[in-house]
Amino acid sequence: MDDFEHISVMPIEVLRYLTPRPGGIYVDGTLGGAGHARQILEASAPDGILVGFDRDPAALKVASERLAGFGERVHLVNRNFSDMAISLAELEITGIDGLLLDLGVSSHQLDTAERGFSFQQDAPLDMRMDTTAGETAADLVNGLPERELERIIKEYGEERWARRIAQFIVTARAAAPIETTLHLVDVIKGAIPKAKWEERLHPATRTFQALRIAVNEELASLEQGLAAGLQMLNPGGRCVVISFHSLEDRIVKQGFRRLAQGCICPKNLPLCVCGHTPQLRILTTKPVMAGDKEVDHNPRARSARLRAAEKL
């Protein structure tokens, strides 16, 4: 698995905001190729602990090999990071000093045709992070009612042509099941008038994003995992999240703001009666973006948004 490549996004910024230190306990909820994890372990030497989560067995195998030199400082878990609270309890960890969530799909997953994430190569329409469980994108495309397909494509893909795409999918699958990525791409291209194709965006981009999110329940996982991780942060502990589309970024921004808020009493009350106090300090008033040099080296960093907060 030496070909498992994933260029870590904003590595300098991650360390700056996460501030790993010796003796700390850190969670990497989206381990991938272990690039960020290695940096955290090096910065927290000699005795910092890292717990890494990934539901992709292939990613976990590579991470295990790449982090083997850190010995017992590393604990790898083949689970969705939304199960963080359960997994940390099993490791008898009651508090953490840092949480990192890099929510992007790895370069390896995108570039491995048979995973079905890419609309550039023909492959089975899969898109599962964990290829051993759950429904595939083909299951959804061929089995969901038209209205549900439209909802998914509109909500998760923010696709203005969602209704037509859903209609075309239902018509196409009546003739033959849609089982490959390029078959679905052809259907989407037929649904969107060519004059309306965007210059810098493939017509299938938003629909493929929507199906990937639905297959992997990504937004629900983010809400659950982020809430669990923030609750487990020790005072002074930090959370860093890198998101790649507006739906993820909105969840992170609202989650941080909710916990950073003080009094929530109605404004017409003369005195505070709610007793609500801030639990977080937001470190990034605006999302941090990758620099031009990084984007030139790794174009996939262009859409990355980093937000960070500290537990009070």
Whether residue 93 is found in the same domain as residue 227: yes
For tokens 């260029």, name the residue.
7
pLDDT digits over 52-79, tens only?
A: 999 988 889 999 999 999 999 999 999 9
What is the overall mean pLDDT for the chain? 92
- Which of these three, 178, 194, 216, is where a domain ends? 216
- Inter-residue contact 226 to 280 (CB < 8 Å): no
Whether residue 263 is found in the same domain as residue 199: no
Q: Please report whether residue 171 resides in a domain.
A: yes
Please report which confidence band the pLDDT of residue 129 belongs to, taking 50, 70 and 90 as the band edges.
confident
Q: What are the backbone dihedrals phi and psi of residue 155, each rounded to the nearest 5 degrees, phi first?
A: -75, -45
Nearest to 50 by CA among 59, 69, 179: 69
Q: Please report whether residue 1 resides in a domain.
A: no
pLDDT digits over 37-50, tens only?
A: 999 999 999 999 99
Q: What is the CATH number of the domain that holds 161?
A: 1.10.150.170
3-state secondary structure 146-208: HHHHHHHHHHHHCCCCHHHHHHHHHHHHHHCCCCEHHHHHHHHHHHCCHHHCCCCCCCCHHHH
Q: Please report whether residue 97 resides in a domain.
A: yes
pLDDT digits over 211-263, tens only?
A: 999 999 999 999 999 999 999 999 999 999 999 999 999 999 999 999 999 88
pLDDT digits over 175-200, tens only?
A: 999 999 999 999 999 999 999 999 88
Whether residue 136 is found in the same domain as residue 183: yes
Whether residue 101 is found in the same domain as residue 139: no
Q: Please report whether residue 2 resides in a domain.
A: no
10: left (phi over 0), alpha (psi -120 to 50) or beta: left
For 26, the 3-state DSSP assignment is strand
- In the prediction, which pLDDT does 104 show? 76
Whether residue 67 is found in the same domain as residue 204: no
Sheet with 233-243: list strands edge to edge. 74-77, 49-53, 25-28, 96-102, 233-243, 305-311, 280-282
More confident residue, 59 or 164: 164
Domain coverage including residue 270: 11-108+218-311
The total number of structural domains in the chain stands at 2
Whether residue 179 is found in the same domain as residue 59: no
Give percent of the chain above pLDDT 70.
Answer: 94
pLDDT over 70 at 3, yes or no: no
